[in-house]
Structure 1
């Protein structure tokens, strides 16, 4: 009877699945692969929980663990070939221009290793290794459940074996900066397991010291020794016994056991190099020794801090008693793909995207990389690096609009840190002012071109990053931030303005040499190439940066002569053009065909999203052409490409098409499935399937859902609620809490029957608020008094608000 009661109490202590369909990732079996495991993270540390009942695996990560190191990636004499390359482009001798570029205008040496840079100077992001729990409990497994709860940032695995209930709880600590694991059994003394650490390469030693496991090593840096790392795992027993071997700890006859894991590298976040004096083992040991709290106290404090981010913004769809309550997330995805109704699945995906950003980005550290902070590889796909021709930027698209602005600080600091190397690259390749960064980067702030014309010579990657600085100001109105980062914006504008050349046909200013990521054109003579001048995306980014610099300088009352220069140049930039051939937006300066009409990059619609120079109310003809471009590109593509298209369709006001793209992104991709390469989808744990796993699709789609519900872009930054709401009845009713609008306004609202019923807008700073009023709605004070405001012919209300003031739309 006593044993039965213990099991019963254990089972009922597991949180109920009901009514948590929008905040839980649920699994009914152990993970067979990384993409079925559950991600936890605190911005620096990452853990993937596999939940195996024989030999549990926790894949470990630390966001700075990179092989490689600083390098001189520039060809110092590349500028000697610039004028010849540009002249060949002006003469439409692109074949010759590209050949010359490939010889003299790419990175020096191995560059990025063509995306396999683990053992060259560029390096790659790597796993810290694995922590294993080898269960010593015999018998068949029953009642298996593995759940990650986004409201508490905790993963819980539970099962019974021989009538004994076993429970594993894991979280990454936002306060103590360690990983906690609690193992418990429903029967006293029934917990038996071995624990160990493992890494497959570049391991110097692993051993037991005192009551802890220690593993440390050093990664390669080309021909040199690179970054040092250490992992320490220490168990805390409440009963039972512990026995040591050389490389494992054996726990026997315990009822519960808490394990604390600390991870350290000797990366120097301040200077972007390595701290040779840092003892990584001793530092990791101190991380554990300084902890004063127990598991429950640490969990409560960590959850409290985590929720200061997670609870800022939520979307809710109505809960109805549903068969999905007891389904795994994978089963829900399969049903959704088949057309079954799952009202809360979009909210789950949205919450998961915000959860991932909170878990992989922390102020003062490196930004989230191609896989956030989670990787199991020693050679991660594409080095797990910072791709800056869209991917890193997409990681942070949800930050401002979903009320996580402060978590974008790593992106801003990273951009600032590129400036020093970027100045050298601008000088070596272009003899230009300012700074530039091309396509890929790393913790050593690589700014050189890549190794190939097809992808490596895009010269606006750094400029694209810089647009986030200006958009952060638009959302926050933080003048101190703008003042701090203005030199970064100016340096980017200075570079772009100093490299422009005039093309012959119209006398427009264009960039050269560059490309349209990562697409191929076909010239009238049949040449298929990449190197070109003035691709549409470059010109859109130029306008974006010049306008940002002009506006920022005016706000700060500085730099009048430079802004005057930028205004003159802006008027002469190559404009957006509508193709006479296909009626879409031209991708290149000339009306050339694309070798791959449905290419995954849709770079020439940067002006539609994330920039806003193409929009339905200011540029209807270009908006029509943008729609045609998307129709020509099709709805296929990789995971992140589909996520971008959600945002495009939302900006066009087509909620039904945006939902179609979202459903395409949620197409289930099973473990081991290689048939869907370049067709996108999602894995069982909701990770974006490029494939392979790339986290940018998760972040891009989260931003896309927000864009369907709230927009505030355009010259007047008008707040538009439900601008792209699907007509699907599953979206007919819902609630938004804490979305952000440009101008530093927080927006909450309810809707029913596809229309806003009531909204509250809060000004975080003083400012003028413009709102597109839903039909029949008016503005009231919080006390119910009707307010005085002006409206125009389009029913856009304008009202001046004080900091902290609330207005109600009713």
Structure 2
């Protein structure tokens, strides 16, 4: 009877997993697996619902599930206004304009930094800056009737379902575990099943490295505590938190509560419900925790799972990508990555790229949601107190890269937490603008956290970057360009105007070049050599600053024009924009990174900031600015491919914009390079960990999300005012299809290709407008249907234009 029962259970499990798009479920395996428990954190599976996170390691005798909550931050708001900063600004600028950049940098070290410890050089757990950290560990200590050998072990993450599962056999008993963070119930769910009666016995415990207590209340296991605010280290006055686990036994068994553990005896099925929260959003967080638990406890497992799947799939199933099948899909992911690296042509496992693309979408869906916080450097997953770089919001690319897939991969609402977070920084940014620059408007620098930190960082070589607010405003306007929501634009326009107003005041004329420049500033984290041999980071003006400011001024001007406001301000921005140094090609044929042809101190530096105009902006274009595009190509060649994980992800997007699909794919191969060897030893360099987390190293989620965006960029582009399908298709992706990618102007596109040639494409208008589509060179057999009726549309210079109303569909067949 036990075998039939377990087969029936597996059948139900599979049936509950089949409510998905037919194209995906029948043809593609959107899952990956291991044949053993995780030995390191980078082998565990990330689960998240945009607020809560769980990472089960699949242990057999002892399983650890790391618990995360996106607002689990130490620290507090602080006064960062440095009274000496503004008084030193004139001296810093004078030194820069006299070519004494090293003197200017030395003066900045002494005066033009934040008040206090800043980020405490990435060790902010006990400082006011704070750190994002794990909430805790949920331990399941299993007690088996015998110590027989474990067989047929399989640990899997299913991206279609956002469910992690473990199955194995021991002592003639089949065990199945499933875990998910419910998108519907906002609670963690762990389901345990044994196919032999009374074979399920385990003890629950919870802990974290510091600042916690564990107890039982009834049969609930409760962990609670408070984090330091960084000001008073003797008394905990920071974020309060709680985690509460409750066990439900649908088929009987016994629950025994101890002082700090809960034990389950003689069960065959158990549901563990885990509710957790902090007081960041809701001072009544304990009531919130209890209410969520009570609601979940009323439902059986099948209903909890069904509701979770329905809520999650509304987001995930919007996009499909098929790049073919591979026999390597049968391999555990650690072996699959090794096989991909050994395949020098990277031709045998094209399906891995499609899985990696969908894994990026999965991570974004799992690490943020409207009304919550945006994903940090690790999304919402952390396994330590001292999360690398405080697990904060790095604003000189990393935070922005996290959101590159949001619009194009049809997850537009997941842009909103960044937008709301940006609006929240304005008041602090206005104080920083006044204190440090005596300027109007608002500014923020490289560092961002939960506590509205907007001042320069504690070290000018990286902390002086002051265009982060301008870069954030690019995201505000991009969301409008994809949605065409003028009510939203009117809401965010003051934020954009404030960022532009800061630079209206802050820009000064370089007496040597006569250009308006940002001074002081940097080209993020990079340095250059002065004629005297000194290596300096601080400069007057940088190419990235000029590109970002041209974009900010242009977007703000366009927004004001759309809203029919601020005519005089538009004219002022136009005048300022005209006085910025244009993107310039140096004597070596490359894009200049600074105003002067300095020698890089680190030629292969991970940041390629002077190509911001190529991506994410659209100042540099193969078709519109071919000379700049060629110079960008030479710049990338000189920088080299090999770098940190997120840097290689950025370069995928660069090469896609240059319409070089094979080079973009080569970078994707580099990004997927395994960073753990056949054992559990870390390998130096950027790449990918066994659980597909991107290695900076260590783990940073921006590489995953930037790589996801890069794959989309290879398949469709729309930044030049028209839709271009397969602009950077690698030669190895001979046959494939995608569905549901978004383009500027409010359109949704799909395409299928055969032998590297576009076979058919469709466009659905979400917003009324005129859409332009660049046709392939050989389109003599083109047929067009609009709303399923054959139509004839004019084609001018290889460009098809069509006026669509919201809901209209256009189908092109070649």
Q: What residue in structure 1 maps to residue 289 of structure 2?
A: 284
Decide which of 721, 732, 738 is 1:736's aligned counterpart: 738
1:644-723 alignment runs, 5 A limit: 644-670=650-676, 676-677=683-684, 679-714=685-720, 717-723=721-727
Asked if 1:538 is matched to 2:537, the reply is no
How many Å separate the matches in 1 of 2:420 and 2:329?
Answer: 42
Asked if 1:74 is matched to 2:81, the reply is yes
How many Å separate the matches in 1 of 2:616 and 2:754?
Answer: 29
- C-alpha displacement of 1:506: 2.7
- C-alpha displacement of 1:539: 0.5
How many Å separate the matches in 1 of 2:328 and 2:28?
Answer: 8
SS at structure 2 position matched to 1:290: helix
How many Å separate the matches in 1 of 2:231 and 2:160?
Answer: 46
Deviations 1:299-331 (A, max 9, x none): 111110111100111111233xx5324211221
Q: What residue in structure 1 maps to residue 262 of structure 2?
A: 249
- C-alpha displacement of 1:100: 0.8
How many Å separate the matches in 1 of 2:327 and 2:658?
Answer: 35
1:150-189 alignment runs, 5 A limit: 150-189=159-198
Q: What residue in structure 2 maps to residue 584 of structure 1?
A: 590
Report if the CA contact (8 A) 1:21-1:325 is conserved: no
How many Å separate the matches in 2 of 1:773 and 1:303?
Answer: 38
SS at structure 1 position matched to 2:622: coil
How many Å separate the matches in 2 of 1:283 and 1:325?
Answer: 41
User: Which stretch of the first structure deviates more once superposed, 499-508 or 360-369?
Assistant: 499-508
Decide which of 304, 313, 329 is 1:307's aligned counterpart: 313
- C-alpha displacement of 1:569: 1.1
Q: What residue in structure 2 maps to residue 271 of structure 1?
A: none
- C-alpha displacement of 1:673: 6.9
SS at structure 2 position matched to 1:459: coil
**Could you tell me the TM-score, scaled by structure 1's length?**
0.95
- C-alpha displacement of 1:293: 2.0
Deviations 1:134-179 (A, max 9, x none): 0101322111111111111111111111010111111111121100
SS at structure 1 position matched to 2:239: strand
SS at structure 1 position matched to 2:762: strand
Deviations 1:75-110 (A, max 9, x none): 134111111111111111111111111111111111
Q: What residue in structure 2 maps to residue 780 of structure 1?
A: 784
Q: What residue in structure 2 maps to residue 797 of structure 1?
A: 800
Decide which of 326, 330, 354 is 2:330's aligned counterpart: 326
Q: What residue in structure 1 maps to residue 22 of structure 2?
A: none
- C-alpha displacement of 1:66: 0.2
Asked if 1:317 is matched to 2:323, the reply is yes
Asked if 1:358 is matched to 2:365, the reply is yes
How many Å separate the matches in 1 of 2:350 and 2:103?
Answer: 56
Decide which of 426, 430, 434 is 1:423's aligned counterpart: 430
Q: What residue in structure 1 maps to residue 38 of structure 2?
A: 31
Asked if 1:208 is matched to 2:216, the reply is yes
**Could you tell me the TM-score, scaled by structure 2's length?**
0.95
Q: What residue in structure 1 maps to residue 21 of structure 2?
A: none
How many Å separate the matches in 1 of 2:803 and 2:586?
Answer: 43
How many Å separate the matches in 2 of 1:562 and 1:680?
Answer: 45
Asked if 1:143 is matched to 2:152, the reply is yes
- C-alpha displacement of 1:504: 2.3
Asked if 1:765 is matched to 2:770, the reply is no
Change (3 A) 1:448 1:469: same
Report if the CA contact (8 A) 1:213-1:234 is conserved: yes
Structure 2 stretches lacking a partner, 5+ long:
18-24
Q: What residue in structure 2 maps to residue 754 of structure 1?
A: 756
How many Å separate the matches in 2 of 1:51 and 1:657?
Answer: 38
1:60-459 alignment runs, 5 A limit: 60-137=67-144, 138-139=146-147, 140-203=149-212, 205-224=213-232, 225-238=237-250, 239-268=252-281, 278-291=283-296, 292-319=298-325, 322-339=326-343, 341-459=348-466
How many Å separate the matches in 1 of 2:681 and 2:771?
Answer: 50
Q: What residue in structure 2 maps to residue 272 of structure 1?
A: none
Change (3 A) 1:20 1:247: farther
Q: What residue in structure 1 maps to residue 612 of structure 2?
A: 606
User: Which stretch of the first structure deviates more once superposed, 464-473 or 600-609?
Assistant: 464-473
Asked if 1:59 is matched to 2:72, the reply is no
How many Å separate the matches in 2 of 1:220 and 1:789?
Answer: 65
- C-alpha displacement of 1:181: 0.8
Deviations 1:515-548 (A, max 9, x none): 0111011122222101101111000000010000
Report if the CA contact (8 A) 1:232-1:281 is conserved: no
- C-alpha displacement of 1:461: 1.1
Report if the CA contact (8 A) 1:21-1:348 is conserved: no
- C-alpha displacement of 1:20: 7.1
- C-alpha displacement of 1:505: 2.9
SS at structure 2 position matched to 1:643: helix
How many Å separate the matches in 2 of 1:542 and 1:627?
Answer: 23
How many Å separate the matches in 2 of 1:403 and 1:325?
Answer: 26
SS at structure 2 position matched to 1:540: helix
Report if the CA contact (8 A) 2:787-2:810 is conserved: no
Structure 1 stretches lacking a partner, 5+ long:
269-274
1:490-569 alignment runs, 5 A limit: 490-569=497-576
How many Å separate the matches in 2 of 1:330 and 1:96?
Answer: 50
How many Å separate the matches in 2 of 1:343 and 1:700?
Answer: 19
Report if the CA contact (8 A) 1:116-1:383 is conserved: yes
SS at structure 2 position matched to 1:670: coil
Report if the CA contact (8 A) 1:10-1:165 is conserved: no
- C-alpha displacement of 1:282: 3.9
How many Å separate the matches in 1 of 2:41 and 2:338?
Answer: 19
Asked if 1:807 is matched to 2:805, the reply is no
Q: What residue in structure 2 maps to residue 726 of structure 1?
A: 730
How many Å separate the matches in 2 of 1:305 and 1:675?
Answer: 37
Report if the CA contact (8 A) 1:22-1:347 is conserved: no
Asked if 1:486 is matched to 2:509, the reply is no
Report if the CA contact (8 A) 2:675-2:682 is conserved: no
SS at structure 2 position matched to 1:143: strand
1:1-12 alignment runs, 5 A limit: 2-10=1-9
